[in-house]
Structure 1
């Protein structure tokens, strides 16, 4: 086992959009490195020239930046280290540890014994050598395989801990054999993280599940909430408090506490946690968070930060993802589209009389939420209606929907003139 200051590496392959598993791996490496006062290197495994692209590399940097995960030193690109891999393969050929086979080079695995290593998450892991085939270390096109690059780089860079997904567990004995063939008697501390599964307890799949981290970012999940939630996919704080700042998670996190059992990704839990983070924002912070989702083009007006800050208290409590916010506040900035189902449900008698009374009374009442609330309650009582029933036609007339932010605070922000105009338009729509 390697000792000394912990040195970890996050080693993504830039062959597609970063997904939840990739992000969790990056996070766990970062958490442990920062917890122990160690280093986290970023190694781009871009040897697959057919799939690795500059755009995918940029997406990796964007993911780390969005989640707030930094790394130490300059990024390392495997595509620039091929000389090291070639030298290793030539050494094995010279020593009789590898041989040519139909244009490729294979490593000769011993027929007897076992290849074993200790895994922080899974305990002692052993693979009978007889069950490991002579595997390719150099393809027929001359490029080194994944196993070679991992063994050479981890040894050359002094990596002390290898934290990665369980799906790579079966590649580990091959890397251990190659390290030994390079003269290393030590191996890093391995930690193979549990699978992330969906609600049907099936491994998350790009074909079946929404696994792209970009998708959740574009839906309006805060990076702080996503990092917090990802930390819980295989680990739990000893005090049971799940929602907490990343700095506190760093203090508490230990690879030894990671559970080997599969971790279920629960969208409802993620969005509920995101809602808690949103509620913790002040008005200005919430306004800044929802601003990217506010479309001046679709609304036909420019919305400033001050206006959004004024609206924030109306919707912050019930907002779970930021993408939900624009539809809930659009009526405050542009003419609403009346939902036909809500209109039909809320305009039965005495809706017309309620609107008439509201138009008359709202023209004179002090324009505050409390005064509007009291007045509409009185109007409802004249028709033997509770406030919920009495306010329904007013809400749909003004906001376009039967459900939305607190009505009277919304009316106070909308203003007397706009409110009366919408009430009159709705009354005209009802006819005599």
Structure 2
């Protein structure tokens, strides 16, 4: 094979989860690094569990991450005739055979082998059936499966895994495995190989949980006269209790869409995902798309499993601290206009968007985003922690309310005075706003911090943030005056 061709073949039985997204990303990076092509193949042969909603969820998740494909999506069920033809070919060439053994028969043989402390493999009873006997059983309607006939001999078979090194076993240790069910439907083992041959797949990058299939699939490649792809088996992604990340066990918190909907930036999340099992060999964590494509190699993928840390009971830092940290970095350093486009969607969803932010208030909009983003973690923070900059419908957090407002009863009288003085200013500048606030504190013989910290809470609802007087300039004289006069609403009714 001269062309580098890879595939990402998800089963549409749920959303795109963290482990699947990482697999797609590693395949995408390898294809980009080596000038290859990446194919999206939906393995939808599990008709009972596969749904259109799951398919769309997978496609949407990949699109959000920016993982693009050169071909596909192809659907495995569209090629069922290819899978059946391959099984017939193996039957015709004597590389597979029909097995009429019932489950009860196989269970009895297994129990007998256990009692005799013998090997548990299938004893090939049905390989001794004559052509006439096979025809007779079929005529009687006796159900059968098709088994692959593992070549006889005493030899080692294996492959050079690009991550784990040499993997091999003696061919004598492999049972004749089923490739077609009794209902006539080929199994994943065969379908997967046939599709990879048809799609001319040169490299297979997948999780270590697929390694149990690899040797048997190599036998199928050889039996079908096709070259064997290069294999690379990635470590699994585990939770903090060392259990495999799964949709069923962990729910939506391991879904890619969960992070999209909670305000993560697509490339920041990719940057985090790649570090779940890969390292350049140093402490570096931040990579641009181009830098990561250049740096990525299969040999740098870890052999041991990675840990994905999440906390369902912490609504603010609900996920891996590294994911938060990387997202913060991109949020605070990305081009402000690009950020403005992303925040626009968040503001629109909350009914806070003003078309003037793309018109005569565009400079204010971008300057305000630039001022407030340094303390934010996700895009959602712009409509929660930063809500007061875009509308009057904002909440006051309990901690600053107790610390900065309720401890100082006098603010109910002082802030209306401050509001009057601000309203009378013809020049509501940063310098004048600060001068007036400090003068009032001096007159009242109180610390300026009581006024300044109280203003922060009344005007933004927050305990911390940018410089208080920068905040006043961003929110504007009219709203500042209004909010100062409404301070009494923050105190309990008498």
Q: TM (normalized to structure 1)?
A: 0.90
Corresponding residue for residue 252 of structure 1: 295
Rg (Cα) greater in structure:
2
Moved more, 292-301 or 331-340: 292-301
Offset at residue 339 of structure 1 (A): 4.4
Offset at residue 8 of structure 1 (A): 1.4
Structure 1 CA distance, aligned partners of 2:26 and 2:342?
26
Corresponding residue for residue 406 of structure 2: 347
Residues 162 and 335 (structure 1), Cα distance of their counterparts in 2 relative to 1, 3 Å cut:
closer
Structure 1 CA distance, aligned partners of 2:158 and 2:443?
82
Offset at residue 364 of structure 1 (A): 3.4
Offset at residue 368 of structure 1 (A): 2.3
Structure 2 CA distance, aligned partners of 1:334 and 1:20?
38
Corresponding residue for residue 331 of structure 1: 388
Equivalent in 145, 149, 167 of residue 108 of structure 1:
149
How many residues in Structure 1 have an aligned counterpart in Structure 2? 429
Offset at residue 216 of structure 1 (A): 0.5
Pairwise mapping of residues 45-84 of structure 1 onto structure 2 (< 5 A)? 45-84=43-82
Equivalent in 232, 244, 256 of residue 191 of structure 1:
232
- Alignment check: 8 A CA contact 1:97 1:107 kept: yes
Corresponding residue for residue 379 of structure 1: 440
Equivalent in 204, 210, 217 of residue 175 of structure 1:
217
Residues 389 and 148 (structure 1), Cα distance of their counterparts in 2 relative to 1, 3 Å cut:
same
Equivalent in 217, 226, 246 of residue 260 of structure 2:
217
Per-residue deviation, residues 227-253 of structure 1 (Å, max 9, x unmatched): 111122222235643212111111111
Structure 1 CA distance, aligned partners of 2:438 and 2:325?
33
Corresponding residue for residue 319 of structure 1: 376
1:96 is paired with a residue whose SS is coil
2:424 is paired with a residue whose SS is coil
Corresponding residue for residue 157 of structure 1: 199
Q: Please list every run of 5 or more consecutive structure 1 residues that lacks an aligned counterpart in the other structure.
A: none
2:169 is paired with a residue whose SS is strand
Pairwise mapping of residues 119-130 of structure 1 onto structure 2 (< 5 A)? 119-130=161-172
Residues 381 and 281 (structure 1), Cα distance of their counterparts in 2 relative to 1, 3 Å cut:
farther
Per-residue deviation, residues 284-338 of structure 1 (Å, max 9, x unmatched): 2222111222256655977744364242023211111111210123223124344
Per-residue deviation, residues 3-33 of structure 1 (Å, max 9, x unmatched): 5232211222222111111111111111111
Q: Is residue 423 from structure 1 mapped to residue 480 from structure 2 by the alignment?
A: no
Equivalent in 245, 248, 254 of residue 204 of structure 1:
245
Q: Is residue 358 from structure 1 mapped to residue 356 from structure 2 by the alignment?
A: no
Structure 2 CA distance, aligned partners of 1:271 and 1:108?
52
Structure 2 CA distance, aligned partners of 1:198 and 1:312?
35
Moved more, 337-346 or 207-216: 337-346
1:81 is paired with a residue whose SS is helix
Offset at residue 405 of structure 1 (A): 4.9
Structure 1 CA distance, aligned partners of 2:216 and 2:64?
34
2:392 is paired with a residue whose SS is coil
Per-residue deviation, residues 59-85 of structure 1 (Å, max 9, x unmatched): 333233222222223433221111221
Offset at residue 148 of structure 1 (A): 0.4
- Alignment check: 8 A CA contact 2:350 2:383 kept: no
Structure 2 CA distance, aligned partners of 1:192 and 1:397?
56
Offset at residue 269 of structure 1 (A): 0.7
Offset at residue 126 of structure 1 (A): 1.6
Residues 338 and 265 (structure 1), Cα distance of their counterparts in 2 relative to 1, 3 Å cut:
closer
Per-residue deviation, residues 371-422 of structure 1 (Å, max 9, x unmatched): 3234323434555655443322222222234345543222222222222222
- Alignment check: 8 A CA contact 2:260 2:266 kept: yes
1:274 is paired with a residue whose SS is helix
Corresponding residue for residue 343 of structure 2: 290
Residues 265 and 428 (structure 1), Cα distance of their counterparts in 2 relative to 1, 3 Å cut:
closer
Corresponding residue for residue 400 of structure 1: 461
